[in-house]
């Protein structure tokens, strides 16, 4: 497992902030998928959440253990929720 790349600082801002700035130009709702409630809290503490319509946490029933967390689980959780 690695670190949360979205919170990695580049030129004083978290990488996720650059993505949110770009996505905000499209005037669509933005949902952020996180792998845990702790990750949601980390993002809330780090970014301007006014741009985010809501957070979706990975489906724990689908994840067997921390080792099996993959980006596709985030897609699965988002499609299931939305």
Model pLDDT for residues 30-49, shown as the tens digit of each residue = 999 998 899 999 999 988 88
Residue 52: other Cβ atoms inside 10 A: 18
Beta strands in the chain (DSSP E): 9-10, 13-14, 31-34, 54-57
What was the pLDDT predicted at 76?
A: 81
Are the C-beta atoms of residues 47 and 24 closer than 8 Å to each other?
A: no
pTM for the full predicted model: 0.76
Classify residue 13 as exposed, middle or buried by CB count within 10 Å of its CB (0-12, 13-18, 19+).
middle
Domain count for the chain, please give it. 1
What was the pLDDT predicted at 25?
A: 92
The whole domain housing 45 covers 5-81
């Amino acid at each position: 497992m690695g670190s949360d790349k979205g919170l990695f600082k580049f030129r004083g801002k978290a990488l996720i902030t650059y993505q949110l700035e770009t996505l905000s130009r499209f005037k669509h709702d933005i949902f952020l998928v996180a792998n845990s409630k702790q990750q949601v809290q980390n993002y809330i503490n780090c970014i301007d959440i006014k741009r985010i319509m809501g957070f979706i946490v990975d489906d724990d029933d689908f994840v067997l253990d921390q080792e099996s967390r993959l980006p596709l689980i985030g897609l699965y959780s988002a499609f299931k929720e939305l």
